[in-house]
Structure 1
Amino acid sequence: MRRRTAPAFGLVSAGIGRAARPWDPDVIDIPEELAATQIKYGGDAGREFIAALPQRAADFLERWELRQTGRPMHGWCALVLPVERPDVTPAALKLAAEQVSIGRILLAQQAGRQTG
């Protein structure tokens, strides 16, 4: 499997009526909406998350021998890449912002629940 270092990436928009750039499996697209949300609510941590996403994705794709099979999806806190495992089983690689996990721990502690 080829090494995925210094991946190419681009910001893309899912805006209605925009001409879509052809999908390229060697480019990790970061949706503009995800970047904007992370920067708006996460500040510097959100910027760092977005800046690190292409390399994080490339590292996990390589480590787990995954092949990206389609355009990325996202919510407000994560990038999700449709992938195939080495045995061609369809899967998804979800790369979430760390502050989401920290937020869940804090909420659980406030509610008096143990976190592990």
Structure 2
Amino acid sequence: FPQGTEQKLKANKSSVQTALNRAAVLSNEKYRGVKFILDQDNLKICANNPSKESAEEEVPVDYAGDSFEIGFNISYVQESLSVISNNEVEFVFFGSENSCLVKNIDDESLIHVIMPMRL
């Protein structure tokens, strides 16, 4: 698992999934990149494609860490969320260049590690 200072974000899984599904429509078909922009109690999900089309979705979250941006393959995040049974999910970040943990709040045995990507 990644090491360092943890920055935890808790969110409604359905809200994040809905925002990701909308952003996926306009993400680059080849690389499937999506940017998470974290700020105080807010997660902005951004995607764009070579046709200069873009999507931005904001999701209210429980987050009190430092503001930063991190990129992921949108498919990996969607797949991770699809197997979490609880409707609340926790993302644990270790900065913008380290992998992220995705946890089921009720089942600590389920932890996914998602590597970031440069966007």
Band of TM-score, shorter chain: 0.3 to 0.5
Between Structure 1 and Structure 2, the one with more strand by share is: 2
Query: What's the TM-score once normalised by structure 1's chain length?
Result: 0.36
Query: What's the TM-score once normalised by structure 2's chain length?
Result: 0.35
